[in-house]
Amino acid sequence: MYEASDLKKGLKFEIDGAPHVVVDFQFKKPGKGQALYKCKLKNMINGAQFERTYRSGDKFPKAALDQQAMEYLYADSQSYCFMNTRTYEQEFLTKEQVGDTIDLLIENTICDILLFNGQAIEINLPNFVNLRVIKADPWAKGDTATGSYKPVTIETGIEIQVPPFVNEGEKIKIDTRTREYVERVND
């Protein structure tokens, strides 16, 4: 069990049978009376956000969360197949469960999947992925304006901004947290 004094940003606990995460947190100590812990919470299953205030002494249960390393294998018309790297069991996730991580997900990528009562609720990609550029406009020599970027399409089908010297067919490193170009990668 957690107590109100344990509250901090990123803490995950259970409310009404669903896991929630603290998105924002404020501590207030009035002159008299109990301390107040004002939290902005997010439901980890449906994404709903709301605010709730707790008093010192309030208690709430830890969420039964389990994090598993899983390898993305393939996608079919209805689901995405992940394999547990420890037990080799396959887990099929829906498009809603995978969310926008599919934009940077290629086969054989190892992801950390957060499970609540056996149901996947969050997929964490590695911080960096290497993806191939499949479409890029050629670089015009002499076009050296500082800070200039051009759009390219990567193998997952999304478009990102890269420096003008990146060419079609090259592999680039992308930061999955910001979805930005980091550097070119040698094959």
50 and 79 share a domain? no
Chosen domain end from 14, 36, 60 = 60
Q: Could you tell me which of 148, 73, 149 has the C-alpha nearest to residue 113?
A: 73
139 and 156 share a domain? yes
SS3 assignment, position 81: strand
51 and 11 share a domain? yes
Chosen domain end from 45, 60, 75 = 60
Instruction: Tell me what percent of the chain is helix, strand and coil, each rounded to the nearest 5.
Output: 5, 50, 40
Label residue 147 left, alpha or beta by phi (over 0 means left) and psi (-120 to 50 means alpha): left
Alpha carbons 4 and 35: distance in angstroms, whole number: 9
Q: According to the model, what pLDDT value does residue 141 have? A: 65
Alpha carbons 120 and 68: distance in angstroms, whole number: 10
Q: According to the model, what pLDDT value does residue 46 have? A: 82
Give the CATH number, domain containing residue 41: 2.30.30.30
Q: According to the model, what pLDDT value does residue 95 have? A: 85
Give the CATH number, domain containing residue 153: 2.40.50.140
Question: Which residues of the chain fall short of a pLDDT of 50?
Answer: none
- What's the pLDDT tens digit per position in 94-148? 888 888 888 899 999 999 998 888 888 888 899 999 999 999 888 766 656 556 8
55 and 74 share a domain? no
Q: According to the model, what pLDDT value does residue 47 have? A: 81
Chosen domain end from 78, 106, 124 = 124
40 and 70 share a domain? no
48 and 86 share a domain? no
Q: List the domain range (segments joined by +) for residue 169.
A: 128-185
Alpha carbons 175 and 151: distance in angstroms, whole number: 16
Residue type, 75: A
User: Considering its fold, how many domains does the chain have in total?
Assistant: 3
Say if CB 176 and CB 134 are below 8 A apart.
no
109 and 133 share a domain? no
Is this model's pTM higher than 0.75 or not?
no
92 and 105 share a domain? yes
Mean pLDDT for all residues in the chain: 88
Q: Could you tell me which of 151, 27, 105 has the C-alpha nearest to residue 93?
A: 105
Alpha carbons 122 and 144: distance in angstroms, whole number: 41
44 and 85 share a domain? no
Token pair, residue 184, equals 């070119």
Enumerate the β-bridge partners of residue 50.
41
Q: How many CB atoms neighbour CB 109 within 10 A?
A: 18
100 and 112 share a domain? yes
